[in-house]
Amino acid sequence: MRKKLAVIGAGTAGLIAAKRAAELGIDTTVYEQKQGKGAKINASGIVSLSGLNALGIDYGGAITNRLSGADIHAGGRVLSVRARGIIANVLDRMQLNEMCHDEAEASGVKINMGRRVGGAEIGEIARDSVVIGADGAVSSVARHFSMGHIRRHVLTYKQEFNVDIKDPEKVDLFFDNKLTQGLFGWTCPNSMDILEVGIGVDSGFSNSAKAMSAFLKKREIVEMIDGGKSIGGGASMIPMSLRDRISDNRGAMLVGDAAGQVKATTGGGIVFGGHGGRLAAEIAAEHLANGTTIYDYSRRYMARYGRDLHLHSMINEFYSRISADSLGRIITAAKFFGAENFLHKYGDMDRPSLMVKRFFLRALSD
Ligand SMILES: Cc1cc2nc3c(=O)[nH]c(=O)nc-3n(C[C@H](O)[C@H](O)[C@H](O)COP(=O)(O)OP(=O)(O)OC[C@H]3O[C@@H](n4cnc5c(N)ncnc54)[C@H](O)[C@@H]3O)c2cc1C
Protein backbone atom coordinates (compact mmCIF):
# COMPACT_ATOMS: atom_id res chain seq x y z
CA MET A 1 0.00 0.00 0.00
CA ARG A 2 1.49 3.32 -1.07
CA LYS A 3 1.43 6.19 1.42
CA LYS A 4 3.86 8.79 0.05
CA LEU A 5 4.88 10.73 -3.05
CA ALA A 6 8.33 10.82 -4.64
CA VAL A 7 9.12 13.48 -7.25
CA ILE A 8 12.19 12.76 -9.41
CA GLY A 9 13.65 16.05 -10.69
CA ALA A 10 13.64 19.53 -9.11
CA GLY A 11 13.00 21.69 -12.18
CA THR A 12 9.99 24.03 -12.13
CA ALA A 13 7.47 21.28 -12.99
CA GLY A 14 8.71 18.93 -10.24
CA LEU A 15 8.88 21.65 -7.60
CA ILE A 16 5.39 22.96 -8.45
CA ALA A 17 4.06 19.37 -8.21
CA ALA A 18 5.83 18.79 -4.89
CA LYS A 19 4.58 22.03 -3.36
CA ARG A 20 0.98 21.32 -4.42
CA ALA A 21 1.19 17.77 -3.03
CA ALA A 22 2.51 18.99 0.33
CA GLU A 23 -0.30 21.58 0.46
CA LEU A 24 -2.73 18.68 0.02
CA GLY A 25 -1.19 16.96 3.03
CA ILE A 26 0.94 14.33 1.23
CA ASP A 27 4.31 13.21 2.62
CA THR A 28 6.49 14.34 -0.33
CA THR A 29 10.18 13.83 -1.14
CA VAL A 30 12.03 15.31 -4.14
CA TYR A 31 15.23 13.78 -5.60
CA GLU A 32 17.46 16.02 -7.74
CA GLN A 33 20.74 14.97 -9.32
CA LYS A 34 22.25 18.48 -9.39
CA GLN A 35 24.02 19.93 -6.37
CA GLY A 36 22.69 23.20 -4.93
CA LYS A 37 19.34 24.86 -5.62
CA GLY A 38 19.12 27.24 -8.58
CA ALA A 39 21.78 25.37 -10.62
CA LYS A 40 22.56 26.65 -14.15
CA ILE A 41 19.72 26.29 -16.70
CA ASN A 42 20.27 26.91 -20.41
CA ALA A 43 16.74 28.10 -21.10
CA SER A 44 14.91 31.40 -21.43
CA GLY A 45 12.21 32.68 -19.11
CA ILE A 46 9.47 34.37 -21.13
CA VAL A 47 6.17 33.56 -19.48
CA SER A 48 2.70 35.07 -19.98
CA LEU A 49 1.26 36.92 -17.00
CA SER A 50 -1.99 34.94 -17.12
CA GLY A 51 -0.11 31.62 -17.33
CA LEU A 52 2.18 32.45 -14.42
CA ASN A 53 -0.60 33.71 -12.21
CA ALA A 54 -2.45 30.38 -12.56
CA LEU A 55 0.49 28.31 -11.28
CA GLY A 56 0.27 29.29 -7.61
CA ILE A 57 3.92 30.33 -7.29
CA ASP A 58 5.31 33.62 -6.07
CA TYR A 59 7.64 34.49 -8.97
CA GLY A 60 7.93 38.26 -8.30
CA GLY A 61 11.57 38.15 -7.18
CA ALA A 62 12.65 36.41 -10.40
CA ILE A 63 11.37 39.07 -12.84
CA THR A 64 14.20 40.71 -14.82
CA ASN A 65 12.11 42.44 -17.50
CA ARG A 66 8.54 42.93 -18.73
CA LEU A 67 7.28 42.62 -22.31
CA SER A 68 4.39 44.18 -24.17
CA GLY A 69 4.92 42.93 -27.73
CA ALA A 70 6.83 41.21 -30.49
CA ASP A 71 8.13 41.91 -33.97
CA ILE A 72 7.72 38.88 -36.21
CA HIS A 73 10.19 38.80 -39.13
CA ALA A 74 9.91 36.62 -42.26
CA GLY A 75 11.08 37.10 -45.83
CA GLY A 76 12.05 40.74 -45.22
CA ARG A 77 8.61 41.68 -43.80
CA VAL A 78 7.76 42.52 -40.19
CA LEU A 79 4.50 42.07 -38.29
CA SER A 80 4.47 44.20 -35.12
CA VAL A 81 2.20 43.03 -32.36
CA ARG A 82 1.81 45.30 -29.34
CA ALA A 83 -0.48 44.97 -26.35
CA ARG A 84 -1.81 47.97 -24.43
CA GLY A 85 0.10 46.88 -21.34
CA ILE A 86 2.54 44.25 -20.13
CA ILE A 87 1.61 40.71 -21.28
CA ALA A 88 4.64 38.68 -20.28
CA ASN A 89 7.51 38.65 -17.80
CA VAL A 90 11.08 37.64 -18.44
CA LEU A 91 12.25 35.57 -15.49
CA ASP A 92 15.70 34.63 -14.28
CA ARG A 93 15.31 30.84 -14.51
CA MET A 94 17.85 30.03 -11.80
CA GLN A 95 16.17 32.48 -9.45
CA LEU A 96 12.74 31.05 -10.31
CA ASN A 97 13.89 27.52 -9.48
CA GLU A 98 15.43 28.75 -6.26
CA MET A 99 12.14 30.40 -5.28
CA CYS A 100 10.10 27.29 -6.19
CA HIS A 101 12.58 25.24 -4.13
CA ASP A 102 12.14 27.50 -1.08
CA GLU A 103 8.34 27.52 -1.43
CA ALA A 104 8.22 23.70 -1.68
CA GLU A 105 10.43 23.34 1.41
CA ALA A 106 8.32 25.87 3.32
CA SER A 107 5.25 23.73 2.49
CA GLY A 108 6.95 20.72 4.09
CA VAL A 109 8.57 18.98 1.09
CA LYS A 110 11.85 17.12 1.78
CA ILE A 111 14.35 17.87 -1.00
CA ASN A 112 17.42 15.69 -1.59
CA MET A 113 19.90 17.55 -3.80
CA GLY A 114 22.83 15.79 -5.47
CA ARG A 115 20.81 12.58 -5.55
CA ARG A 116 20.38 10.95 -8.97
CA VAL A 117 17.71 8.23 -9.06
CA GLY A 118 17.63 5.71 -11.87
CA GLY A 119 17.04 2.13 -12.99
CA ALA A 120 15.99 -0.39 -10.33
CA GLU A 121 15.98 2.28 -7.62
CA ILE A 122 12.89 3.84 -9.24
CA GLY A 123 11.12 0.48 -8.82
CA GLU A 124 12.20 0.36 -5.15
CA ILE A 125 10.81 3.86 -4.52
CA ALA A 126 7.56 2.99 -6.34
CA ARG A 127 6.85 0.19 -3.81
CA ASP A 128 5.70 2.60 -1.15
CA SER A 129 5.37 5.90 -3.07
CA VAL A 130 3.50 7.24 -6.05
CA VAL A 131 6.23 8.48 -8.43
CA ILE A 132 6.08 11.75 -10.37
CA GLY A 133 8.72 11.81 -13.11
CA ALA A 134 9.78 15.45 -13.54
CA ASP A 135 13.21 14.50 -14.80
CA GLY A 136 13.27 16.30 -18.16
CA ALA A 137 13.00 15.15 -21.77
CA VAL A 138 15.42 12.22 -21.34
CA SER A 139 13.39 10.77 -18.48
CA SER A 140 14.60 7.76 -16.48
CA VAL A 141 11.12 7.41 -14.98
CA ALA A 142 9.57 7.15 -18.48
CA ARG A 143 12.15 4.52 -19.40
CA HIS A 144 11.60 2.51 -16.21
CA PHE A 145 7.82 2.38 -16.73
CA SER A 146 8.13 1.88 -20.55
CA MET A 147 6.07 5.01 -21.26
CA GLY A 148 7.22 5.28 -24.88
CA HIS A 149 8.84 8.16 -26.70
CA ILE A 150 8.68 11.88 -27.41
CA ARG A 151 8.65 11.87 -31.20
CA ARG A 152 9.99 15.38 -31.92
CA HIS A 153 12.65 17.59 -30.37
CA VAL A 154 14.33 20.84 -31.30
CA LEU A 155 17.95 21.58 -30.48
CA THR A 156 18.59 25.07 -29.12
CA TYR A 157 21.51 27.42 -28.68
CA LYS A 158 21.34 30.71 -26.83
CA GLN A 159 23.84 33.40 -25.98
CA GLU A 160 23.64 36.63 -23.95
CA PHE A 161 25.27 39.93 -24.94
CA ASN A 162 25.89 43.18 -23.07
CA VAL A 163 24.00 45.67 -25.21
CA ASP A 164 22.37 49.05 -24.82
CA ILE A 165 18.80 47.96 -25.61
CA LYS A 166 16.64 50.42 -27.54
CA ASP A 167 13.20 48.88 -26.97
CA PRO A 168 13.32 46.68 -23.85
CA GLU A 169 9.60 45.77 -24.06
CA LYS A 170 9.66 43.66 -27.23
CA VAL A 171 11.04 40.36 -28.44
CA ASP A 172 11.95 39.74 -32.09
CA LEU A 173 11.18 36.40 -33.76
CA PHE A 174 12.86 35.43 -37.04
CA PHE A 175 11.27 32.73 -39.19
CA ASP A 176 13.44 31.25 -41.92
CA ASN A 177 13.06 27.55 -42.50
CA LYS A 178 16.37 27.37 -44.39
CA LEU A 179 18.17 28.44 -41.22
CA THR A 180 15.97 27.42 -38.29
CA GLN A 181 13.59 24.78 -39.53
CA GLY A 182 11.37 23.48 -36.72
CA LEU A 183 11.34 26.65 -34.59
CA PHE A 184 12.81 30.14 -35.13
CA GLY A 185 15.53 32.52 -34.12
CA TRP A 186 14.84 35.09 -31.41
CA THR A 187 16.18 38.04 -29.50
CA CYS A 188 14.85 38.90 -26.06
CA PRO A 189 15.87 41.76 -23.78
CA ASN A 190 16.50 39.85 -20.55
CA SER A 191 17.09 43.19 -18.84
CA MET A 192 17.82 46.78 -19.86
CA ASP A 193 21.35 45.88 -20.93
CA ILE A 194 21.36 42.13 -21.58
CA LEU A 195 20.11 40.87 -24.93
CA GLU A 196 19.51 37.14 -25.36
CA VAL A 197 19.95 35.75 -28.87
CA GLY A 198 18.77 32.19 -29.52
CA ILE A 199 17.74 29.68 -32.14
CA GLY A 200 15.92 26.36 -32.25
CA VAL A 201 16.25 23.79 -35.04
CA ASP A 202 14.59 20.46 -35.65
CA SER A 203 16.87 17.71 -34.28
CA GLY A 204 16.86 15.94 -37.65
CA PHE A 205 17.67 19.15 -39.57
CA SER A 206 20.84 20.78 -38.31
CA ASN A 207 23.38 21.26 -35.59
CA SER A 208 22.29 24.08 -33.25
CA ALA A 209 25.77 25.63 -32.81
CA LYS A 210 26.22 25.80 -36.61
CA ALA A 211 22.76 27.35 -37.08
CA MET A 212 23.53 29.85 -34.29
CA SER A 213 26.74 31.02 -35.92
CA ALA A 214 24.81 31.63 -39.19
CA PHE A 215 22.03 33.45 -37.28
CA LEU A 216 24.55 35.74 -35.58
CA LYS A 217 25.65 36.91 -39.05
CA LYS A 218 22.14 38.07 -40.01
CA ARG A 219 22.09 41.83 -40.65
CA GLU A 220 19.35 42.59 -38.09
CA ILE A 221 21.15 40.58 -35.38
CA VAL A 222 24.51 42.21 -36.08
CA GLU A 223 22.80 45.61 -35.74
CA MET A 224 21.08 44.66 -32.48
CA ILE A 225 24.24 43.27 -30.87
CA ASP A 226 26.16 46.31 -32.12
CA GLY A 227 29.57 44.96 -31.06
CA GLY A 228 28.30 44.03 -27.54
CA LYS A 229 30.31 41.51 -25.55
CA SER A 230 29.11 37.90 -25.27
CA ILE A 231 28.59 36.93 -21.62
CA GLY A 232 27.89 33.22 -22.02
CA GLY A 233 25.39 30.74 -23.34
CA GLY A 234 25.03 27.16 -24.43
CA ALA A 235 23.04 24.41 -26.09
CA SER A 236 19.97 22.53 -24.90
CA MET A 237 16.93 20.65 -26.18
CA ILE A 238 13.16 21.14 -26.15
CA PRO A 239 10.63 18.30 -26.51
CA MET A 240 8.07 19.31 -29.14
CA SER A 241 5.39 16.63 -28.75
CA LEU A 242 3.67 14.77 -25.92
CA ARG A 243 5.16 11.44 -24.85
CA ASP A 244 3.22 8.33 -25.95
CA ARG A 245 1.99 7.73 -22.35
CA ILE A 246 2.18 10.08 -19.36
CA SER A 247 0.65 7.87 -16.66
CA ASP A 248 1.02 4.26 -15.59
CA ASN A 249 -1.23 2.34 -13.23
CA ARG A 250 1.81 0.88 -11.44
CA GLY A 251 1.87 4.32 -9.77
CA ALA A 252 3.73 6.77 -12.02
CA MET A 253 2.96 10.05 -13.78
CA LEU A 254 5.15 12.29 -15.92
CA VAL A 255 5.10 16.10 -15.79
CA GLY A 256 6.82 18.95 -17.63
CA ASP A 257 9.44 18.15 -20.28
CA ALA A 258 9.43 14.46 -19.25
CA ALA A 259 5.83 14.36 -20.51
CA GLY A 260 6.43 16.72 -23.47
CA GLN A 261 4.05 19.33 -21.97
CA VAL A 262 5.44 22.13 -24.14
CA LYS A 263 3.87 24.65 -26.57
CA ALA A 264 5.24 23.65 -29.97
CA THR A 265 4.80 27.21 -31.31
CA THR A 266 7.48 28.66 -29.02
CA GLY A 267 8.98 25.79 -27.00
CA GLY A 268 7.57 27.36 -23.80
CA GLY A 269 7.05 24.70 -21.12
CA ILE A 270 6.84 26.48 -17.77
CA VAL A 271 3.06 27.03 -17.84
CA PHE A 272 1.87 23.73 -19.39
CA GLY A 273 4.44 21.72 -17.38
CA GLY A 274 3.45 23.56 -14.19
CA HIS A 275 -0.21 22.71 -14.80
CA GLY A 276 0.86 19.09 -15.36
CA GLY A 277 2.66 19.21 -12.00
CA ARG A 278 -0.33 20.60 -10.13
CA LEU A 279 -2.75 18.11 -11.69
CA ALA A 280 -0.43 15.14 -11.04
CA ALA A 281 -0.19 16.18 -7.37
CA GLU A 282 -4.00 16.35 -7.12
CA ILE A 283 -4.41 12.92 -8.76
CA ALA A 284 -1.77 11.48 -6.38
CA ALA A 285 -3.68 12.92 -3.40
CA GLU A 286 -6.96 11.37 -4.62
CA HIS A 287 -5.21 8.02 -5.24
CA LEU A 288 -3.57 7.95 -1.80
CA ALA A 289 -6.83 8.93 -0.04
CA ASN A 290 -9.39 6.86 -1.97
CA GLY A 291 -7.48 4.44 -4.20
CA THR A 292 -8.72 6.15 -7.39
CA THR A 293 -6.84 5.35 -10.58
CA ILE A 294 -3.58 7.11 -11.51
CA TYR A 295 -4.34 6.45 -15.15
CA ASP A 296 -6.96 9.23 -15.04
CA TYR A 297 -4.11 11.80 -15.05
CA SER A 298 -3.58 11.41 -18.77
CA ARG A 299 -7.30 11.77 -19.59
CA ARG A 300 -7.77 14.80 -17.34
CA TYR A 301 -4.63 16.55 -18.58
CA MET A 302 -5.66 16.08 -22.21
CA ALA A 303 -9.23 17.22 -21.50
CA ARG A 304 -7.91 20.51 -20.10
CA TYR A 305 -4.85 21.24 -22.22
CA GLY A 306 -4.87 18.76 -25.15
CA ARG A 307 -6.73 21.01 -27.58
CA ASP A 308 -4.37 23.94 -27.02
CA LEU A 309 -1.24 21.77 -27.28
CA HIS A 310 -2.65 20.36 -30.51
CA LEU A 311 -3.30 23.86 -31.92
CA HIS A 312 0.26 24.89 -31.00
CA SER A 313 1.57 21.84 -32.89
CA MET A 314 -0.54 22.65 -35.95
CA ILE A 315 0.75 26.25 -36.04
CA ASN A 316 4.35 25.02 -35.64
CA GLU A 317 3.90 22.48 -38.44
CA PHE A 318 2.53 25.22 -40.68
CA TYR A 319 5.34 27.74 -40.21
CA SER A 320 8.06 25.04 -40.25
CA ARG A 321 7.02 23.86 -43.69
CA ILE A 322 6.65 27.08 -45.64
CA SER A 323 9.50 29.21 -46.92
CA ALA A 324 10.42 32.54 -45.33
CA ASP A 325 9.29 34.26 -48.55
CA SER A 326 5.83 32.69 -48.46
CA LEU A 327 5.54 33.48 -44.75
CA GLY A 328 6.58 37.07 -45.53
CA ARG A 329 3.80 37.30 -48.14
CA ILE A 330 1.30 35.95 -45.58
CA ILE A 331 2.50 38.63 -43.15
CA THR A 332 1.87 41.33 -45.78
CA ALA A 333 -1.65 40.01 -46.39
CA ALA A 334 -2.28 39.58 -42.65
CA LYS A 335 -1.27 43.21 -42.05
CA PHE A 336 -3.65 44.30 -44.80
CA PHE A 337 -6.52 42.41 -43.12
CA GLY A 338 -5.69 43.90 -39.70
CA ALA A 339 -3.85 40.97 -38.03
CA GLU A 340 -1.88 43.33 -35.79
CA ASN A 341 -5.09 44.71 -34.37
CA PHE A 342 -6.65 41.23 -34.12
CA LEU A 343 -3.70 39.81 -32.14
CA HIS A 344 -3.57 42.91 -30.01
CA LYS A 345 -7.28 42.41 -29.14
CA TYR A 346 -7.66 38.63 -28.88
CA GLY A 347 -4.09 37.27 -28.64
CA ASP A 348 -3.26 34.70 -25.99
CA MET A 349 0.33 33.35 -25.77
CA ASP A 350 -0.68 30.07 -24.16
CA ARG A 351 -4.21 29.24 -25.22
CA PRO A 352 -4.95 29.71 -28.93
CA SER A 353 -8.33 28.02 -28.40
CA LEU A 354 -9.34 30.90 -26.08
CA MET A 355 -8.24 33.38 -28.75
CA VAL A 356 -10.56 31.76 -31.31
CA LYS A 357 -13.39 31.58 -28.75
CA ARG A 358 -13.02 35.25 -27.76
CA PHE A 359 -13.03 36.26 -31.41
CA PHE A 360 -16.27 34.41 -32.21
CA LEU A 361 -18.01 35.51 -28.99
CA ARG A 362 -17.10 39.11 -29.79
CA ALA A 363 -18.26 38.71 -33.41
CA LEU A 364 -21.60 37.28 -32.21
CA SER A 365 -22.14 40.04 -29.67
CA ASP A 366 -21.20 42.89 -32.09
C1 LIG B 1 16.67 27.50 -24.99
C2 LIG B 1 15.37 27.29 -24.27
C3 LIG B 1 14.51 28.34 -24.10
C4 LIG B 1 13.30 28.16 -23.43
N5 LIG B 1 12.51 29.25 -23.24
C6 LIG B 1 11.37 29.12 -22.53
C7 LIG B 1 10.57 30.26 -22.26
O8 LIG B 1 10.90 31.38 -22.64
N9 LIG B 1 9.41 30.08 -21.57
C10 LIG B 1 9.02 28.84 -21.14
O11 LIG B 1 7.94 28.73 -20.55
N12 LIG B 1 9.77 27.76 -21.37
C13 LIG B 1 10.95 27.85 -22.04
N14 LIG B 1 11.72 26.76 -22.28
C15 LIG B 1 11.23 25.44 -21.85
C16 LIG B 1 11.40 25.26 -20.35
O17 LIG B 1 12.73 25.59 -20.00
C18 LIG B 1 11.10 23.81 -19.97
O19 LIG B 1 9.88 23.40 -20.54
C20 LIG B 1 11.03 23.66 -18.46
O21 LIG B 1 12.26 24.00 -17.88
C22 LIG B 1 10.72 22.23 -18.11
O23 LIG B 1 10.82 22.07 -16.72
P24 LIG B 1 10.91 20.63 -16.11
O25 LIG B 1 10.88 20.82 -14.64
O26 LIG B 1 9.94 19.72 -16.75
O27 LIG B 1 12.34 20.05 -16.60
P28 LIG B 1 13.81 20.51 -16.28
O29 LIG B 1 13.88 21.97 -16.03
O30 LIG B 1 14.65 19.92 -17.36
O31 LIG B 1 14.16 19.80 -14.90
C32 LIG B 1 14.42 18.42 -14.82
C33 LIG B 1 15.27 18.19 -13.59
O34 LIG B 1 15.39 16.78 -13.36
C35 LIG B 1 16.72 16.51 -12.96
N36 LIG B 1 16.96 15.09 -13.25
C37 LIG B 1 17.02 14.50 -14.47
N38 LIG B 1 17.20 13.16 -14.35
C39 LIG B 1 17.26 12.91 -13.00
C40 LIG B 1 17.41 11.71 -12.24
N41 LIG B 1 17.53 10.53 -12.83
N42 LIG B 1 17.44 11.80 -10.89
C43 LIG B 1 17.31 13.02 -10.28
N44 LIG B 1 17.15 14.19 -10.96
C45 LIG B 1 17.12 14.13 -12.29
C46 LIG B 1 17.56 17.48 -13.79
O47 LIG B 1 18.82 17.69 -13.21
C48 LIG B 1 16.69 18.72 -13.77
O49 LIG B 1 17.00 19.58 -12.70
C50 LIG B 1 12.94 26.88 -22.94
C51 LIG B 1 13.80 25.81 -23.10
C52 LIG B 1 15.02 26.00 -23.76
C53 LIG B 1 15.97 24.84 -23.91
- In angstroms, the CA 9 to CA 18 distance is 10
Q: Examine the domain organization and report whether 198 and 333 are in the same domain.
A: yes
Which residues share a beta bridge with 254?
Answer: 133
Q: Examine the domain organization and report whether 103 and 190 are in the same domain.
A: no
Any atom of ligand 1 within 6 Å of the Cβ of 91: no
Q: What percent of the chain has pLDDT over 70?
A: 93
The answer to whether residue 359 scores a pLDDT higher than 60 is no
Question: Does 346 or 192 have the greater pLDDT score?
Answer: 192
State residue 355's pLDDT score. Answer: 62
- In angstroms, the CA 284 to CA 205 distance is 39
Please, what is the average pLDDT of the chain?
91
In a domain, 134, yes or no: yes
In a domain, 199, yes or no: yes
Q: Examine the domain organization and report whether 212 and 330 are in the same domain.
A: yes
The answer to whether residue 365 scores a pLDDT higher than 70 is no
Q: Range of 176's domain?
A: 68-88+153-239+322-352
Would you say 91 and 45 are in contact if contact means Cβ atoms under 8 Å apart? Answer: yes
Q: What distance in angstroms lies between residue 223's CA and the mean position of ligand 1's atoms? A: 31
Last residue of a domain, one of 310, 337, 361: 310
Report pLDDT digits (tens) over 15-58. 999 999 999 999 999 999 999 887 788 899 999 888 888 898 88
Report pLDDT digits (tens) over 70-127. 999 999 999 888 888 888 999 999 999 999 999 999 999 999 999 999 999 999 999 9
Protein residue with its CA nearest to atom 33 in ligand 1:
9
Q: Examine the domain organization and report whether 341 and 235 are in the same domain.
A: yes
Would you say 288 and 72 are in contact if contact means Cβ atoms under 8 Å apart? Answer: no
Residue type, 70: A
Last residue of a domain, one of 310, 342, 361: 310
Number of domains, the chain: 2
Any atom of ligand 1 within 6 Å of the Cβ of 40: no
List of residues 6+ apart from 102 with CB closer than 8 A: 37
State residue 24's pLDDT score. Answer: 97
Q: Examine the domain organization and report whether 35 and 136 are in the same domain.
A: yes
In a domain, 158, yes or no: yes
Q: Examine the domain organization and report whether 169 and 303 are in the same domain.
A: no
Q: What distance in angstroms lies between residue 239's CA and the mean position of ligand 1's atoms? A: 10
In a domain, 164, yes or no: yes
Give the three-state DSSP class for 365: helix
Any atom of ligand 1 within 6 Å of the Cβ of 355: no
Residue 231's CB: how many other CB atoms inside 10 A? 10
Spell 312-345 as b/e; 16+ CB within 10 A means b. bbeebeebbebebeebbebbeebeeeebbeebbe
Q: What integer is the mean pLDDT of 310-329? A: 91
In a domain, 53, yes or no: no
Any atom of ligand 1 within 6 Å of the Cβ of 116: yes
Report pLDDT digits (tens) over 195-211. 999 999 998 777 899 99
Would you say 140 and 119 are in contact if contact means Cβ atoms under 8 Å apart? Answer: yes
In a domain, 54, yes or no: no
Q: What distance in angstroms lies between residue 343's CA and the mean position of ligand 1's atoms? A: 29
- Residue 331 CA, chain-centre distance (Å), reads 26
What's the sign of the alpha-carbon dihedral 262, 263, 264, 268?
negative
User: Which atom, in ligand 1's list, is nearest to the CA of 156?
Assistant: 1
- In angstroms, the CA 272 to CA 276 distance is 6
In a domain, 57, yes or no: no
Q: Where are the beta strands (DSSP E) in the chain?
A: 4-8, 28-31, 46-48, 63-67, 69-74, 77-82, 88-91, 110-112, 129-133, 153-162, 170-175, 182-189, 194-202, 229-239, 247-248, 252-254
Report pLDDT digits (tens) over 295-319. 999 999 999 999 999 999 999 999 8
Question: Does 350 or 97 have the greater pLDDT score?
Answer: 97
State residue 351's pLDDT score. Answer: 74
Q: Examine the domain organization and report whether 165 and 136 are in the same domain.
A: no
Report pLDDT digits (tens) over 156-178. 999 999 999 999 999 999 999 88
Q: What is the CATH number of the domain that holds 126?
A: 3.50.50.60
Any atom of ligand 1 within 6 Å of the Cβ of 269: yes
Q: Examine the domain organization and report whether 123 and 215 are in the same domain.
A: no
Q: What distance in angstroms lies between residue 137's CA and the mean position of ligand 1's atoms? A: 8
Q: What distance in angstroms lies between residue 136's CA and the mean position of ligand 1's atoms? A: 6
Q: What distance in angstroms lies between residue 274's CA and the mean position of ligand 1's atoms? A: 11
- In angstroms, the CA 239 to CA 262 distance is 7
SS3 of 309-339: the string is HHHHHHHHHHHHHCCHHHHHHHHHHHHHCCH
Any atom of ligand 1 within 6 Å of the Cβ of 9: yes
Q: Examine the domain organization and report whether 254 and 347 are in the same domain.
A: no
- In angstroms, the CA 81 to CA 165 distance is 19
In a domain, 251, yes or no: yes
Q: What is the CATH number of the domain that holds 335?
A: 3.30.9.10
Q: Examine the domain organization and report whether 159 and 304 are in the same domain.
A: no
